Amino acid sequence: MNLEQHTTPATVQAIYAHYEAKRKGKSHRPHLGGSQIGNECHRALWYQFRWAWSPQFEGRMLRLFETGDREEERIVRNLRDIGVTVWEKDPETGKQVSFKAHGGHFALSLDGVGEGFAESSAPHVLEFKTMNKKAFADISRKGLQVSKPIYWAQVQVGMHLAGLDRAYFFAVEKDTDAIYAERVKLDQAEAMKLVAKAGQIIFAETPPSRLSDDPSHFACKFCPYYAVCHGCKIPEVHCRTCAHVTPKDDGTWFCARGHKTDAACTDHLFIPQMMPPDLEVYDAGETWVEYVDKDTGEVLRNEDNSVELHEGRMK
């Protein structure tokens, strides 16, 4: 059989479609996630927190994410088999061990806490990952902080919020099943900077500067928010993309128009600085903003029509 001409069987397509259907409507977190706070692009993190765009993943990738979750269960079992005590659930709530900051707008869930390792009996924050051959070779050669700074930042925040000073990071190579493991010490100063960074992003009224103004920049091209940051797509319509809505210190949201903040309403008005770069503010009032399309010269008015504007740019 010519593999180049092989098409995906209908049954396999149905499996992938099932994963996509399960994910629909679940792409946004209510908080800024600690697992990504090490991302060097503050703007991407702001877009994430403000629900600007739903990253799209095909069913095959979603199934691969599930494979990573299953590997976590396996490592926990491996650790227990060698005598390590592992808490992957909060004994009081029965849910994943998690911690919050900034009123709950910032949160991080741990893969677990382990105690009784061969190297130390002290409790450690646990973090588990799976990697391809190239990434695994890189981390094996350079170590966590240099090779995967986002993961390093994640365990730093995890230790800080959990009140622990050690973490044990495990990575499994997908092809060979080899395990890379590294004990990480708490860098209190860096951890506090990362939590402060989260606060700066959460309470920023407008998006931070781009990592690069060049749309072809490597990090930008593969960013899930490229469509709104460098492209021509108008953000999704949520309370969080509305100019009238701001986050509060207690973890709630405030609407200056007096509405509930659990669903967008007809008063929704896009945050102007969040709009795509080809739309330039032309004029504005308290409840409306007009933009001129720099490519066509067309004037677009955002007033009681955010859904229509968004859907118009989705075509």
Whether residues 131 and 280 fall in one domain: no
- Express each pLDDT in 270-297 by its tens digit: 999 999 999 999 999 999 999 999 999 9
- Phi, psi (degrees; rounded to nearest 5) at 250: -85, 5
Q: Say if residue 5's pLDDT is above 80.
A: no
Structural domain ending residue among the three candidates 183, 202, 221: 202
Beta bridge partners of 245: 255
Whether residues 159 and 290 fall in one domain: no
Residue 225 lies in a domain: no
Structural domain ending residue among the three candidates 160, 183, 202: 202
Whether residues 176 and 257 fall in one domain: no
Tokens of 83: 């005598």
Q: Lowest mean pLDDT: which of 11-15, 58-62, 192-196, 310-314?
A: 58-62
Whether residues 196 and 276 fall in one domain: no
104: Cα separation from own chain's centroid: 15
Residue 236 lies in a domain: yes
- Token look-up 């079992």 returns 77
Q: Could you tell me the CA-to-CA distances from 222 to 43, 201, 210, 215, 216 in Å, in that order?
A: 14, 21, 14, 10, 10
Bridge-based pairing of strands 106-109 and 179-185 is: unpaired
pLDDT value, residue 2:
53
- Express each pLDDT in 111-166 by its tens digit: 999 999 999 999 999 999 999 999 999 999 999 999 999 999 999 999 999 999 99
Q: Say if residue 62's pLDDT is above 80.
A: no
Domain carrying residue 47? 28-202
Q: Say if residue 95's pLDDT is above 80.
A: yes
CB 100 within 8 A of CB 90: no
pLDDT value, residue 1:
44
Whether residues 49 and 193 fall in one domain: yes
Whether residues 49 and 161 fall in one domain: yes
Whether residues 82 and 165 fall in one domain: yes
Tokens of 84: 């390590």
Residue 212 lies in a domain: no
pLDDT value, residue 59:
79
Stretch (H or E) spanning 300: strand 299-302
- Express each pLDDT in 234-268 by its tens digit: 999 999 999 999 999 999 999 999 999 988 899 99
Residue 296 lies in a domain: yes
Whether residues 182 and 68 fall in one domain: yes
Residue 16 lies in a domain: no
Reported pTM:
0.90
* CB neighbourhood size of 45 (10 A): 25
Q: In the chain, what percentage of residues exceed pLDDT 90?
A: 79
Bridge-based pairing of strands 124-131 and 166-173 is: parallel
CB 111 within 8 A of CB 104: no
Whether residues 45 and 176 fall in one domain: yes
- Phi, psi (degrees; rounded to nearest 5) at 244: -85, -10
pLDDT value, residue 25:
58
Whether residues 65 and 195 fall in one domain: yes
pLDDT band at 4 (very low <50, low <70, confident <90, very high): low
CATH number, domain containing residue 128:
3.90.320.10
Whether residues 78 and 145 fall in one domain: yes
